[in-house]
């Protein structure tokens, strides 16, 4: 019953950081639940436009715009390239102005080229418009940073994975929605030339703008208010306006070791006693004896995002730990976006008798698995973190293992050219389970990597995922062969080349330490930002 009630009741909150200890996904009225839903839905509708071209490229746009296969691949690559650039810059923007404003701004900026999609008349126009629509893919970064700011590390893995997975499923929904809208317009008497253009104006544009307005009007930056008030999320202790006598309930699997905040045996309002309850929780006082307090600087370093400087941003990006999550995401999300942009065409080539809609519907299944697989990756990472007594290294090992399994299935697809269409679909489903779960595990680890610059780490990791998509798409772009006198993409060769890259990078991830140089980087970042002056205002 506890698990079920956590889905709809107001969540318990860690008193040290005001972050939720459960995810009230059935309670959008509660501010924690509302923020979660605004974050994932913002990314979801971005995907709706970002991948809206893919299901119609196989036949409709290819015929209407007289596209070659190379031009289709070029449009896929440029759509991912712009997202890469946006994600690099939107991470520091999240740290500076807050993820809510960054999310709304990203959606509104991407809505403009979405509305102009119907003006495309040739391959150059398609490539250009897809480049600018790629701005929407940057919304993933504020989605993850926003969720991280509201959920405790004991549940942040599943929270980020749910938000990312449900958002990614927008790509799968697009494969159903866009052909359905297009075909309905054709049945109503519109030509294919007009129908696909109206589809873009009616479907993605209106939804994106409406969602951006909801984020601006209904969203909240932090649990304590505006982004400028984020330092208030750290419990003011040790002489900084103590919250004397506030009794709290903190589950024993929260991200802090509560022994820092409990005296061994005494009781009373000033003793800081913590008494275990039947539910395995600790009831205690926020203001324990001074000797038992963890320094306020440590709490803030763990939870509060500081304004990034050029120096601290570059050091964070160059960190071995940031590169760990970034390169692993290169292999998992990079492979996912490449597959999603090409899978309908791959299935159509493997089953020439299939219609565009049939190939698109089966391709959509790959993306819709995100609803389950990515959250499972984050959830299992959280469980392993708790079982290991809060050792983030287990999240790293889990993430890399999933990456190896992804590589194994991609290698199988690449080497087996004689697969039937049903076996090909099954192999892609198996690969999807592991690569999408690895995406969830990755962003369960990201909040542990330089938390004072979470936006920077999230942005670079997300950008590297898109860089992987660009590189892997280029591999497919130049893997071609002749079929019935026409040049076609050699998907199998491309897949086994991608698989080798995936296997090598994830094998190396096992050997990257998580704590090398991290404390020094954090200390320098706080000094540069005058952290002590800011925290004294709490």
Q: Give the CATH number for residue 470.
A: 1.20.1250.20
Q: What is the pLDDT of residues 431-489, one digit of tens each?
A: 999 999 999 999 999 999 988 888 999 999 999 999 999 999 999 988 876 666 566 78
Conformation bin of residue 225: beta by default, left when phi > 0, alpha when psi is -120 to 50: left
Residue 3 falls within a domain, yes or no? Answer: no
Give the pLDDT confidence score for residue 264 in this predicted structure.
32
Mean pLDDT of 173-202: 87
pLDDT band at 374 (very low <50, low <70, confident <90, very high): very high
pLDDT of residue 485: 59
| Six token digits for residue 86 | 């946006």
Which pLDDT score, from 0 to 100, does residue 200 have? 77
Rounded Cα distance, 401 and 410, in Å = 15
370, part of any domain? yes
For residue 486, the model assigns a pLDDT of 62
Q: Please give the DSSP secondary-structure letter assigned to residue 369.
A: T
The residue from 249, 272, 294 where one domain ends is 294
Q: What is the pLDDT of residue 248?
A: 39
Per-residue confidence at 178, pLDDT binned at 50, 70, 90?
Answer: confident
Q: Is residue 437 part of a domain?
A: yes
Is 395 contained in some domain?
yes
Res 310: pLDDT:
87
Q: At 530, is the pLDDT very low, low, confident or very high (cuts 50, 70, 90)?
A: low
| Number of neighbours of residue 8 by Cβ within 10 angstroms | 13
Structural domain for 321, as ranges: 17-226+307-525
Instruction: Judge if 379 and 451 occupy the same domain.
Output: yes
Residues 338 and 268 in one domain: no
Structure-token pair, residue 380: 């299992």
Q: Are residues 175 and 35 in the same domain?
A: yes
Based on the fold, state whether residues 217 and 105 are members of the same structural domain.
yes
Asked whether residue 268 falls in the same domain as residue 146, the answer is no
Specify whether 108 is located in the same domain as 247. Answer: no
48 pLDDT more than 80: yes
Residue 299 lies in a domain: no
Summarize pLDDT for 211-249 with one digit per residue, the tens: 999 999 999 999 988 888 777 655 544 444 433 223 334
Quote the mean pLDDT of the chain: 82
DSSP 278: T
Judge if 285 and 201 occupy the same domain: no
Same domain, 386 and 515: yes
- One domain, residues 342 and 212: yes
| pTM, full prediction | 0.80
Domain identity same for 221 and 255:
no
* pLDDT tens-digit series, residues 328-361: 999 999 999 899 888 988 999 899 999 878 888 8
Residue 115 and residue 252 share a domain: no
CA-closest candidate to residue 259, choices 273, 280, 245, 271: 273
Least confident of 46-50, 318-322, 471-475, 513-517: 513-517
User: Domain for residue 266, yes or no?
Assistant: yes
Question: Is there a domain that residue 534 lies in?
Answer: no
Same domain, yes or no: 382 and 282 = no
Question: Which pLDDT value is given to residue 50?
Answer: 85
Work out the number of other CB atoms within 10 angstroms of the CB of residue 311.
11
Counting other chains too, the contacts that 514-517 makes at CB distance below 8 Å and 24 or more residues apart are 514/321, 514/324, 514/392, 514/393, 514/396, 514/448, 514/449, 516/320, 516/321, 517/319, 517/320
pLDDT reported for residue 70:
83
Among the candidates 294, 316, 331, a domain finishes at 294
How far is Cα 89 from Cα 496, in angstroms, rounded to an integer?
A: 32
pLDDT for the residue 58: 78
What is the domain count for the chain?
A: 2
């Amino acid at each position: 019953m506890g698990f079920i009630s956590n889905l709809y009741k107001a969540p318990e909150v860690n008193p040290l950081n005001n972050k939720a200890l459960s995810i009230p996904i059935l309670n959008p009225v509660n501010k924690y639940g509302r923020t979660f839903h605004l974050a994932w839905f913002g990314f979801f509708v971005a995907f709706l436009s970002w991948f809206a071209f893919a299901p119609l490229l196989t036949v409709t746009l290819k015929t209407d715009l007289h596209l070659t296969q190379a031009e289709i691949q070029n449009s896929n690559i440029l759509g991912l390239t712009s997202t890469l650039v946006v994600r690099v810059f939107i991470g520091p923007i999240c740290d500076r102005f807050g993820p809510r404003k960054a999310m709304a701004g990203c959606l509104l900026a991407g809505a403009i080229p979405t509305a102009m999609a119907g003006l495309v008349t040739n391959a150059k126009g398609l490539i250009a418009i897809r480049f600018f629509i790629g701005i929407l893919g940057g919304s993933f970064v504020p989605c993850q940073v926003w969720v991280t700011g509201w959920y405790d590390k004991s549940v942040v893995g599943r929270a980020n994975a749910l938000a990312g997975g449900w958002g990614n499923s927008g790509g799968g929904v697009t494969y159903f929605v866009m052909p359905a809208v297009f075909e309905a317009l054709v049945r109503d008497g519109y030509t294919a030339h007009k129908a696909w253009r109206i589809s873009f104006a009616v479907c993605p544009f209106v939804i994106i703008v409406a969602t951006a307005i909801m984020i601006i009007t209904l969203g909240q930056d932090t649990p304590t208010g505006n982004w400028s008030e984020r330092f208030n999320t750290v419990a003011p202790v040790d002489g900084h306006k103590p919250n004397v006598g506030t009794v709290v309930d903190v589950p024993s699997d929260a991200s802090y070791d509560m022994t820092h905040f409990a005296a061994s045996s005494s009781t009373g309002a000033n003793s800081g006693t913590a008494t275990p309850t039947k539910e395995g929780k600790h009831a205690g006082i926020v203001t324990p004896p001074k000797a038992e307090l963890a320094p306020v600087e440590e709490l803030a370093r763990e939870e509060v995002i500081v304004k990034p400087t050029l120096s601290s941003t570059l050091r964070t990006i160059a960190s071995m730990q940031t590169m760990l999550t970034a390169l692993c995401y290169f292999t998992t999300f990079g492979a996912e976006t490449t597959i999603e942009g090409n899978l309908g065409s791959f299935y159509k080539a493997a089953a020439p008798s299939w219609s565009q809609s049939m190939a698109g519907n089966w391709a959509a299944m790959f993306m819709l698995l995100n609803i389950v697989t990515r959250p499972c990756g984050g959830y299992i990472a959280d469980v392993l973190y708790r079982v290991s007594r809060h050792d983030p290294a287990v999240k790293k090992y889990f993430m890399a293992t999933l990456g190896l399994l992804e590589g194994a299935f991609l290698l199988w697809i690449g080497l087996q050219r004689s697969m039937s269409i049903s076996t090909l679909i099954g192999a892609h489903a198996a690969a999807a389970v592991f690569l999408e779960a690895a995406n969830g595990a990755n962003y369960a680890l990201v909040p542990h990597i330089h938390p004072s610059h979470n936006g920077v780490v999230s942005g670079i990791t997300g950008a590297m995922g898109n860089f992987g998509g660009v590189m892997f798409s280029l591999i497919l772009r130049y893997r071609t062969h002749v079929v019935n006198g026409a040049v076609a993409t050699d998907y199998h060769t491309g897949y086994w080349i991608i698989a080798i890259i995936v296997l090598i990078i994830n094998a190396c991830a096992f050997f990257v330490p998580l704590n090398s140089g991290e404390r020094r980087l954090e200390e320098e970042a706080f000094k540069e930002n005058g952290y002590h002056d800011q925290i004294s205002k709490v």
